[in-house]
Structure 1
C-alpha cells in the first residue's frame, strides 16, 4: 500500500484512502504527512520492494540500527534473533533487538561504528541455525515455556482458586527451565520449540525474503541520519515495553556459561574497582544534579510529581527543600538504616562513610556495617571512584553504570582517529625496531612482547629479534632457554626445513601455551611420549636407544613430528637454527659411532611437564588479551584475525570490555578505516597520536614481523606482483608507506611509488644480514630518485 500511495499524487492518494480504507480527512492528512516526513528524513519510504536500514546515534551516544520492513512480526521476530546471534559472533557486539510488525530496532552499546550493510544481510541457508542458537536464551522462549508448564500443571498453585503472583511464576519457571534444559527430549521443552518456531515465527517467509534480497528482487538501502526518523521513533517507542518483563530471560548466566568466563575470577584478575582515573569529574557533577532533581527541567510541577520526587530522594535538609520542593509538599518519614542508605546511594554519586554519617548524625561504625551488608548483597558497589576522595567509597550499581557510560563516552570523544599510515609508523616504534639496547634484559622484554606469536623459525632470530636487540648474539637466547626463563613451542611445520615457533616466558606459559594441534598417532610416537613422560628431559641418543633404535632418520622425524604439534620442546634453541636440507643426510654404515645430527642436539622434554596443568578458561583469556595488547598497543579485530589467534576476537571481547570498564585500557575509534572495536593501552594511544604527522623514518623489516602493519591490519598496496607475509620476504616502509617489497630469496623487487636511495640502502642492509647470496636489484619501472 505504501508503494502505491507514494506513486500517486496527493489528491489521488487521498481519494484511494477515503474509498478503500474508509479514512476521514484528518486521518488522510496525518498519514500522508507521516509518509512525507519519513521520505524527508531517509530519502526513501520503505515498502515491499525497498527495505531501509537506518543508522543513527541515540541521546547517550549509542548506535541504533533500524530495519524498516512491512513483512510483519512473524518474519521480523526470527530475523531479530538471527541478527543478534550474527552480530555477537562476527563483531563481538552485545546487540539487543526489538521487533514489531513495522520493523526491527537494534541497540548496539559501546561500538564506535555501526555494522556494515553486508553484516545485516543473512544467508537463507544459515538463518535457521542462527535462530535456533539464540532462541533458548530469549525472553520469548522463557515466557512460552512458563505458559506451557503452567498448562501442564508443572507449576502448581499454592492454593486452589488463588492466583500465583507473576514474579513467583517466573521464578519457578526459570528453575524448571534450567533443569529441563539438561534433557532435550523433555516434552514441555519440545512443545515450546514447536510453538515458537511454528506459531510465532514464519520461517518459510523469512527464508523467502532473504532469497529475494540475495537475488536483488528486493533492494536494501542503508541510510545514516542525525536523529531517529518518524518510522524509527515509532519502533523505539516500544523499546521500554519490550524489556519490561526481561526477568523471563536467563541471559547472563547462559552467556557466561557459553563463554566459559568466570566473571568473579575476571574481576579478581583485573583488581578492585579503582576507577579514579577513568570516571570524568564533569560527568560525576552532571549526574549528581540529575539524581538530586536540581535541574530546572526536573522540578516538580504538581503534588503528584513532588510526592514521587520525595519518595525517590528520601530525607531533605531545609536548604535542599528550598532548592527543590515547596514546603507544602514536605512530609516527615522514618525508615530503617539500610533502606535509607539504599535510597541515599540511588540518589547520589559515589560517597564515603562519613557523608551519610554526618548527614544523619549517626555513628560511622553503624553506617559502615550497614553498607558492608548492602555490598555483600550487590545492592551497592565498594571501590575507589573519585579523584578527590580518599579511602573506600560506595556507589549504587545503576549510578556507577551511568558514570562509566558517560565517562567512557567523554574519553572516546576526546580521541581523534589517525590515518592508517600513522599505525604503520606506530608499530615499528612500539616494538622498538632499531633500538640500540642489548643484553639479556632487553631480550626478555622482546620475548615478553612476542609471546604466543607463531613465527617461522628461520626468521625469528635473524629478522625479528635481531632488529630489536642491539648486538644480538644467539647465545643470549640459548642461555635463557637453558636457564628455564624462556620456553619455545612448535606451532606447525613449513615444509621439510622450517616451521612456526612461539616463544613464552616460563612464568606466563601455563596461561598461554595452547593444547597440541593434531598430535601424531603411531606406535613410535607413543614410545617417544612414554619415554619422555617417564624419564623427563633426555638427550636424543638416550631417547633413540630407549625407544628401540632402528633407522635414525625415522626416529628423528618422529621426534620432530611431536615438536611441530606442540608436544615436545628443547632446552636450547640450537636445533631450530640447524634445520635445513643439509641436516638431512642418508644413513651410512660405520664402525665408529658418529656424531648425532645437528637438529637432534640438546635435551628434549614434554611441553606439558614444563607448563603443568595450565590455567582455566578465564585466566587464559585474561592472559591472552594482555599479551595481544602488549604486542599491538592498539588491538583491532584485524590484528587478532591476522595472527590466527584461537577463538578469534569474539572470545577476547568480554575480557577487553571488562578491562576497559575497570579503567586499564581505552576503547575508541583510534585508526581510520578499521573496525569500531579498537582497544588500546593508555600509553599506546598517546604514542599513536604523536605519530599522526609524518616522521620521515625509513625502516626495513621482515614481511612476517609483527611490527609490519601490511598484510594483516592494513591491506597490501596495489601491485603487479603478489605480496604476502612470507618467510624470507622483506619490506621497506618509508614514513608509514610501503615503498619496497622484496620477495622470498630476492627473486623480484616490487615498488610502490618513487624509489629513493635511502630505500635501497635499508633493503641492502637487511638483505646482507639475511645472507641472500644472489643479485636482488634488477630493473625498476620508475627511476631511482637522484640516481
Structure 2
C-alpha cells in the first residue's frame, strides 16, 4: 500500500480498525472492535474491501447496533471529524480510531441515564442532594443512581421524618408520596438487623384503602429493594433481607396462617383486614410495628370506614411498647388541619404541603348536536319496547375512537353493570371495525342492559373490565397488562381510582359526571402519573342535567376547589362493633376502654352517657321489650367495673 504524504509532514497512516484479542471466533474484524461470533448481535464481516469505512455518515454495517442511549461518545462507524479537527487539521488529525464508550478502558464514567419504573432521568456526577443526607450509603447510592433529584414532597417528608414526628404529606398524584414514605422505612430496615424474636419482625405496617393499590405498592417496592441490596453488595456492606407481605381479602388461608408465626418486615393490608388481625391470634405478629403508613388517607377520613380504621389504630397502639409513628399520604384535600387531627390527635403532626405544579387537560364532550332530542333523561330499564333515541351508541363510538388514538386508556364508570356492558360494547365495535362484519346477536345500548351484568359478545380485543366482582387472578392480569402498556383500555369503577401507578396510561375517560371533585381529580390523575406530566381527561355526560353537573365539576377540578372534608363525630354503630371486637379476646376495665376509644379523633368528644348506653345495649339491657330478641354480646360486671366477651356470642 502506497502511503500518501501530507504537505510538510510525515506520511498519513492507513486507517485500521481494532481487533479483539480476547474474543474467539472467526477472527473477522467488525467496526465495533469485536470479532465475529455465531451468538450475539455482532456477526462476522468478511475481510474484503467492504470492511473499510465508507465516507458516508450513515453506518455501512447494519448488523452493528448503534451506541447505547446513555453514551455521548462518537460512534466507531462515524467518519465525521470533530469541529476542532475540521478547523485545524494539522493539530488533530482524524485517524479513524474507534472511540471507546465511557466507563471502558479505564475512562471514568461522567454521567448515566437510568430507567427506573418507566421514568428516564439523567444523573450527573457530584454530591448527593441534601435531603439524602440522613440515609445510609446504600440507599443514597441507589436513589442518586435512579433519579436526578427528589421532588419537593419527598425532600420535605424526609426532613420531617428525620425529626421524629408524625408526618402528613399532602401532594397531588404522581409526586412521589409513596416512595417518600417507604424509602425512609426501607433504609431503617436495611441498616438495622431484624429482632431476635421472629414474631416481632414486622416493623412497618402499610394500610391501603384498595386491594389493587396494595398489590401495586408491593410490586413497586421490588425495584428499591433490589437496588438497595445490589448497592450494599457493591459497597461491601451486609446484604439486607427485607421481606414484604400482603394481607387482604385475596390472601390465601395458608399465607394468613403463616403471618401469625413468620410475619414479614413490611406488611401491606387494608382497614378491614387490619381489624380482623387485631381480633385474632395474628395480632401477636403486629407487636413489633414501629411505623404505620396510611395511604390515600383523604379517601377514608370523612367516612365511617375511616372512623373504624381510627379505632383499629388505637387498638394497635395498645399492643405496642410505645405508639407507632404515623405517616399519612393524601392528595390535595381541604382543610388540611382536619386530616392532621384524624391522623394523630394526641401528637404533633408535621404537615408537608409543597406547591402543586400538577397540570390537567380536561374537556367535556357531547357526542350529539342536541341533547334535547334524547328526551332530557336517561332511558329506563324495561321500557314498553318502543325504540327510543339514545346517546349511548354515539358515546360508545367516540370512546372507541379515543381508545384507538391513544396508547392506554382507563374508562371510569359509576357502576359495575355499566362497566361490564360498556367494556363489551367497545370490544364489539373494535371487532366490527377490524373485520368489517357485524355480530349476529342483538345488543342493546349500554344503559339498557339488564340482568346480572354479564354479557356475551365479541372476545376481548381492546378493553377489559376491572371492579370488585372480578376474580383476584383476572384483576392482577388486567393490572399487569395495563401497567406494561399491553392493554389498550380498561373499563373500571372506583377500584382503580386511588394511587394506582399506571405509567403507560395517557388518557382517562369518565362516563357520567364524576361523583365529586376530589374523585374526579383522582381518576384523571391516573393518566400522566409521572412527575411533571400532564393528566388528560375527557368527560361524557349522559343527559342535560348530567351536562350541567359535569361542567361544574370540571371547572372546579381546573381551579382545585375540592369539597371540604369533615371527620364523622361519634358514630355509635361503629363504636358498638369495635367494642365487641375489643372484648372478644381481653377483659377490659370500663375506664380504660373509654380512654382508648376517646383517643381516636372521631370519638374525642364522646359523652360518657353515650358510651354507657352502648355498653348497656351490648350487655342485653335494652330500653324496651322490642329489643328482647337481640342476643347480648358482652358481659359487663358493674361491681368489678370490667367488660369481657360473652362466650358463644
**TM-score > 0.5 by shorter chain:** no
Normalising by structure 1, we get a TM-score of 0.21
Normalising by structure 2, we get a TM-score of 0.24
